[in-house]
Amino acid sequence: RQALAGGEARPITPPFGDAASLAVSPDGRFIIYVHSDGKDDAIAICDTEGKHWPQRIATASDFYMHPCWHPDGKRIAWISWDHPNMPWDGTVLHLATLDVDRADLPALRDEEGIAGGKSVAIFQPQFSPEGKGLAYVSDETGYGNLMLYDLEHGASRALTSGEEEIAQPGWVQGERTFGFTHDGAAIVYRGRTGGQDTLRRIDLATGVVEPFAGQLEGYLLFSQISPSPSEDVVAMIAQGPTVPPRVVTCASGSHPRIHRFSTTETIPQGDLSVPEQVTWRSSGGEVVHGLYYPPRNEAFVGRGLPPAIVQVHGGPTSQYTLGYSAQAQFFTSRGYAVLQVNHRGSTGYGREYREALKGNWGIVDVEDTAAGARFLSESRRADANRLVVMGGSAGGYTVLRCLTEHPGLFRAALCLYGVSDLFRLALETHKFEAHYTDSLVGQLPEASAAYRERSPIYSADRIVDPIAIFQGEEDRVVPKEQSELIVESLRRRGIKHEYHLYPGEGHGFRRTETIEAFYRDVERFLRENVLFA
């Protein structure tokens, strides 16, 4: 706890475990939050003065998310789920009453599950300002739509419908895609179609949905939607393909006010590539989605078809969007085209598209990526002889599988902390993803044959294309041993490769010097193996 005027920050909870998704009670006396010690998770409560030992008030589930307070300070709501589910598979929305008439901390009573289940995912509960309703997002229809639960009558009704995603995959705590206006008369939310967001406003009395009237040209991605509690202004993080993330506020009918820039924004607009949403057919005829960035640099004009980087996102439950991609701009400003693949299993296209990866990881993502590479050459968007496949973590796994299943399709590969051994991933990963591979591949030991068949380490001798591997020395999600097993096979067979091990880095690179070294090494590797090979 620290005064806004400054001074010393003092702890109000003991230094035990991790706290996330904090929510302060309306009267400022208490905080509910998600507590985890790495083994057990809970909804916990503490007082804001630190006078009482925190209490774990909900402990029956494996995971918790999004605790929130009712305006009367006597009711709370939260989301929970259990293994083997991930939060986008199925969650339960809980509503409970607190006994606040106690000398110490409030105690939980009258708790009930009011929405969701093992096959319906709930996201971001939020009470209305006047306290009559509880809004949330549910994917019961196959897309994440807004719902409103009537607290007096105990029934929910749909506020939105259609093929637009309002939810986010619950990888992290505290994300907000909607919020009530200060008077409770409307909800402002962001709806995502493909990789593009639209900010909308729904009138709760009439049900009329209309675009938010702010002047938001150039912004195509919105997050942390936060309407003001006292006026018709919405705060958010806004960005676009040529606009890095900014903290902005916007009132109806006005241009947004920029409060914070995430970067210096010194790159001329003429040197920034604008992506095109594209689709192609995979090997079985299925439609696959992606974003295509053409090369862009006003100082140079290329001759012939450009080389291209085919990027695969991590997760694998994730998505490339029309936000600002510094990595894509790095490549396009140097003469490369970029195709960002939203293979089957990606979010943003409905539950059916996302669940196409269930049991098929290492198969449909690989075929969709290979088909994307062929799409580039067949549509004359890139040179078929200068294609590079790139990905990190789960995307790095797809990169390795592309090399083992489609040798010669790519001129070279860039693999960042890629999974090479599915057995180790399933058996050694952290609690949150402990059963993730159950749905992506299958349960062990019954699915052992599939794990072996799809683990690149067991087919590494089929890799013949040049590859650069980048790894954090302290990575606990994909330990360095997974990369080094692949490197040993390459070294033994004399396959051209590079291995870059970064000290002090974990799963994803954070240090400025590491990121600079990474891009220098990538650019040199591509010059030697793609541009001038």
> 134: closest CA among 119, 121, 152?
152
Q: Which two tokens stand for residue 356?
A: 């196409």
The reported pLDDT for the residue numbered 14 is 86
Written as one string, the DSSP assignment of 459-484 is: GGGG--S-EEEEEETT-SSS-HHHHH
Cα–Cα distance between 256 and 236 in angstroms, integer?
10
CA of residue 96 relative to chain centroid, distance: 29
State how beta strands 387-392 and 308-312 pair.
parallel
Question: pTM surpassing 0.85?
Answer: yes
Say how far residue 8 (Cα) sits from the centre of its chain: 35
H or E stretch including 224?
strand 221-227
CA pair distance 497, 525, nearest whole angstrom: 9
pLDDT of residue 70: 98
Look up tokens 């083992």; give the residue: 404
Q: Which pLDDT score, from 0 to 100, does residue 89 have?
A: 97
- The reported pLDDT for the residue numbered 184 is 96
Structure-token pair, residue 383: 């040179």
Q: What is the pLDDT of residues 34-80, one digit of tens each?
A: 999 989 999 999 999 999 999 999 999 999 999 999 999 999 999 99
Tokens standing for residue 309: 């980087």
pLDDT at site 214: 73
Phi, psi of 398 (to 5 degrees): -65, -35
Q: Which residues of 260-297 are buried (b: 16+ CB within 10 A; e: fewer)?
A: eeeeeeeeeeeebbebeebebebeeebebbbbbbbbbb
**Contact residues for 509 (Cβ-Cβ < 8 A; gap 6+):** 470, 472, 502, 515, 518
Neighbours of 97 (CB within 10 A): 16
**pLDDT averaged per 10 residues in sequence order, the chain, 533 residues:** 90 91 96 94 95 94 98 97 98 96 87 97 98 98 97 96 93 96 96 94 95 85 96 96 96 89 90 97 95 94 92 98 97 97 98 97 98 98 98 98 98 97 92 96 97 97 97 92 94 97 94 96 97 81
Q: What is the largest CA-CA distance in the chain?
A: 77
pLDDT at site 208 = 95
Q: Compute the distance between CA of residue 353 and CA of residue 291 in angstroms, rounded to an integer.
A: 17
* Alpha-carbon distances, residue 482 vs 331, 420, 459, 471 (angstroms): 27, 6, 13, 10
Strand partners, 56: 44
SS (H, E, C) 312-339: ECCCCCCCCCCCCCHHHHHHHCCCCEEE
Angle between helices 394-405 and 364-378 (to 10 degrees): 70
Please give the radius of gyration of the chain, using alpha carbons only, rounded to the nearest integer. Answer: 24
**What pLDDT shows up at residue 38?**
85
Q: Give the Cα separation of 529 and 125 in Å (integer).
A: 50
- Residue 519 is predicted with a pLDDT of 98
- Residue 112 to residue 154: CA distance in whole angstroms: 11
Closest CA to 66 of 38, 32, 116: 32
Q: What is the DSSP string of 436-459?
A: HHHHHT--TTTTHHHHHHH-GGGG
400: its two tokens: 């390795």
Contact (Cβ atoms closer than 8 angstroms) between residue 207 and residue 193: no
pLDDT digits (tens, 9 = 90+) for 491-533: 999 999 999 999 999 999 999 999 999 999 999 999 999 988 6
Nearest to 360 by CA among 264, 284, 464, 257: 284
Residue 447 CA to residue 442 CA, distance in Å, equals: 5
Pairing of the two strands 186-193 and 243-251? unpaired
Task: Yes or no: say if 212 and 203 are a contact pair by the CB < 8 Å rule.
Answer: no
Nearest-angstrom CA–CA distance, 46 and 1: 12
Please give the Cα distance from 387 to 281 (Å, whole number): 18
Question: How many angstroms separate the CA atoms of 471 and 485, rounded?
Answer: 12
Q: Walk me through the domains of the chain, giving residue ranges and CATH numbers.
A: 1-125 (2.120.10.30), 307-531 (3.40.50.1820)
Q: Is residue 188 packed enough to be buried (19+ CB in 10 Å), middle (13-18) or exposed (0-12)?
A: buried
